[in-house]
Amino acid sequence: MKSFDAIVIGAGQAGPFLAARMVEKGMKVALIERKFLGGTCVNAGCMPTKTLVASARAAHVARNGAVYGVNLPGEIAIDMKVVRGRAETVTMNARNGLIGWLTGMEGMTVIYGHARFEDPKTVSVNGETLTAPRIFLNVGARPVIPALSGVNDIDYLTSTSIIHLDTLPRHLAVIGGSYIGLEFAQMYRRFGAEVSVIEHGPKLASREDEDISDAIADVLRSEGIDIHTGASDIAFARSRDGITVATDSARIDASHVLIATGRKPNTDDLGLDAAGVITDKHGYITVDDSLATNVDGIWALGDCNGRGAFTHTSYNDFEIAAANLLDGDDRKVSSRILAYALYIDPPLGRVGMTEKQARASGRKIMTSTRPMSRVGRANERGETKGFMKVIADAETKKILGAAILGIEGDEVIHGIIDAMNAGTTYPALQWSVPIHPTVSELIPTLLGDLKPVQL
């Protein structure tokens, strides 16, 4: 049996950095990864998909160049092998960087294999047994495949496999109208494929307020994407030309199907029962405010704990664990203000509560909206789709949440994220003097238009 000061299972966006911090403190650490260092973000998530989004945007801009007085001869052609190769290069550069960094650390042992608990202090991997007083789980999540009729009879794609396509689908049917599905839908439409989105719920991006969901649908429809919401009885069948996707109200002749109906944690094959670690009904590991599980000496970080499903929340889990265990701090997950983005074009930047959530909280609230068509920078760039929205507490004057669906919304939202984390009231932020011409300069104007909402 090999003994370590700590064992980290999973090398996503929390585990490697925590392992590195512990090694810096003189600890002997084993980092176990069953496949690739970097987790979903590096290998099948943010880095490759946003690289693909960038290629799709380049195609869109080139296709619309005449609007800006830039005329390109002939049709815009997409070389999907080059598109795929560029995304793979970005991934491999990041993965190889992690390999060089982590394997070069004295005190760090990187092991590739499938780890399972033998007891609360012991794991087995590749026929070896390892033990440590501290074990950290950063095992991530994977696409979930719903039990739809005929789904096992077709060759479907997931968010993991679609990034390896080097040919253009004739017609891509996207099952699921949430964030991952919508990004791929717009991306492949811009590459030149016909695209249909099939969503069981009544709205796309159902986490958002209805006005945001409706605006997202308008953006996608304006680019020729066919949207079917409220779809039930979804079924698949092979056809001579590809795959038939049928719902209660539509029949789609697709060449490819992307299943994007959510993700589930990679916790079902870790032997958690042997360690006594509790999970919820969805398989997420139950943790407290410090990310500790119910078993002393075991923590869960990242997507597998159900406390965030993003690279930045996973990294923040590392920051919380490191601060508490190594720096004598007392940081809590509950102190985190959730923020995220949807990377369609224009992007959606989101932080804090939706208006619906704020109303349900019983607070006296104020809201303000402003169309991007009234933003000078958006007009100059010729990108005026979407709008800004902010929600504030009428009594405390604190900002409760905001949504910016529009050009550079994923960047502009950080002004509000920072203000919320600093506890800045909206009247104080309203007196800032932003740079002109920018999209951010409209934040004080947006705040100045806040009006009470009747509950």
Q: Which of 200, 256, 312, 436 is catalytic?
A: 436
Structure tokens at 440: 């951010």
Compute the distance between CA of residue 388 and CA of residue 240 in angstroms, rounded to an integer: 46
Helices (H), 27-132: 39-43, 46-63, 80-103
Structure tokens at 362: 């019983």
Contact 355, 391 (CB under 8 A): yes
| Residue among 297, 280, 314 at smallest CA distance from 121 | 297
Coil/strand/helix, residue 289: coil
367 bridge partner residues: 391, 451
Q: Are strands 235-239 and 226-228 parallel, antiparallel or unpaired?
A: unpaired
In the numeric block, the tokens 């720096």 are attached to 327
Contact 370, 449 (CB under 8 A): yes
**Distance from the first to the final alpha carbon of the chain:** 63
436 counts as catalytic: yes
Structure tokens at 341: 């983005």
| Largest distance between two CA atoms of the chain | 70
Beta carbons within 8 Å of 7's beta carbon, 6+ residues apart = 29, 30, 32, 115, 123, 130, 131, 132, 134, 135, 136
Catalytic residue numbers read: 436
